[in-house]
Amino acid sequence: MSGLWYTEKQTENFGITMKIKQTLHTEQTDFQYLEMAETEEWGNMLFLDGMVMTSQRDEFVYHEMVAHVPLFTHPNPETVLVVGGGDGGVIREVLKHPEVKKATLVDIDGKVIEYSKKYLPEIAGKLEDERVDVRVDDGFMHIANSENEYDVIMVDSTEPVGPAVNLFTKGFYAGIAKALKEDGIFVAQTDNPWFKADLIREVQRDVKEIFPVTRLYTANIPTYPSGLWTFTIGSKKHDPLEVKEDRFHDIDTKYYTKELHKASFVLPKFVKDLTE
């Protein structure tokens, strides 16, 4: 589909559209419709079930913000789990922390991993690292079978539809609490406040009932619906707003900074209202 425009419908009445240079791969996998295309504006881009997943040009924002906020909040994150994240971007960021001894990735769809390695090498390139254990499995089942195992868990899943529908339930968050160690932290991408306010409100309510420290932070992701993205963090002990200055070590990033670590929790009024 070269020269054509690809539109992602973000609601029934609104979407974003982008000019495609060439289609690289399309396939109906066992779980979702996978498309990889080269776009004029954003480089190679992965779509699942018609939704933008990641692009070569703006991927760093999401992957840095999912990974570095919880990893700098935890004093010594040795074991990390990523649920979803088959494009490899979160794992690449996790490995920038020397404390991490083992990073497990559990994505339900091996085709996402396969085609991300082929067409998004700068995003997926660390999935072969010796500290990484990649498993093709349902993250919901993996969590259900885990106990007191992880310091940090990141839920980098698709939207709460299709295979990811269970990954936004209170039962899943209770399972995450069980899978975490006694001072563990988890973060989940929780979509945008313009079109998914109810989702954010429900997740905040559910997580607050399970974790003593629950917060919401944001980042600007131009290719995601509305461009304003949120992340929900649930922590058994450590507060992301109380990280000591000497905890932040130098790290190679393009978006995350230790100042932004704290500032990203300052919310516009209509977003803050979703957390109360």
Question: Is 138 in contact with 108 (CB distance < 8 Å)?
Answer: yes
CB of 175 to ligand SAM, least distance (A): 12
Q: Which of residues 235-254 bind ligand SAM (CB under 6 A)?
A: none
Q: Which is nearer to ligand SAM, 104 or 204 (CB)?
A: 104
- Beta bridge partners, 150, equal 180
Please spell the DSSP secondary structure of the chain, one letter per residue. -TT-EEEEEEETTEEEEEEEEEEEEEEE-SSSEEEEEEETTTEEEEEETTEEEEETTTHHHHHHHHHHHHHHHSSS--EEEEEE-TTSHHHHHHTT-TT--EEEEEES-HHHHHHHHHH-HHHHTTTTSTTEEEEES-HHHHHHT--S-EEEEEEE---SSGGGGGGGSHHHHHHHHHHEEEEEEEEEE---TTT-HHHHHHHHHHHHTT-SEEEEEEEE-TTSTTSEEEEEEEESS--GGG--GGG------SS--HHHHHHTT---HHHHGGG-
Nearest residue to ligand SAM, scored by beta-carbon proximity: 84
Q: Is 157 in the site for ligand SAM (CB under 6 A)?
A: yes
Q: Is 109 annotated as a binding residue?
A: no
Question: Which position among 56, 189, 192, 264 is part of the footprint of ligand SAM (CB under 6 A)?
Answer: 189
Q: Is 191 annotated as a binding residue?
A: no
Question: Among the options 109, 151, 156, 191, which is catalytic?
Answer: 156
Site string for ligand SAM, 64-93 (x = CB under 6 A): -------------------xxxxx------
Question: Which position among 158, 214, 218, 230 is part of the footprint of ligand SAM (CB under 6 A)?
Answer: 158
Q: Is 142 annotated as a binding residue?
A: no
Q: Give dist(CA 63, CA 53) in Å, integer.
A: 11
Q: Is 104 annotated as a binding residue?
A: no
Q: Is 139 in the site for ligand SAM (CB under 6 A)?
A: yes
CB of 158 to ligand SAM, least distance (A): 5
Q: Which is nearer to ligand SAM, 85 or 240 (CB)?
A: 85
Site string for ligand SAM, 100-119 (x = CB under 6 A): ------xxxx--x-------
Catalytic annotation present for 156: yes
Binding-site entries for S-methyl-5'-thioadenosine: 32, 107, 138-139, 163
For ligand SAM, the binding residues (CB under 6 A) are: 48, 53-54, 62, 83-87, 106-109, 112, 138-140, 156-158, 163-164, 167, 189
Q: Which of the residues are catalytic?
A: 156
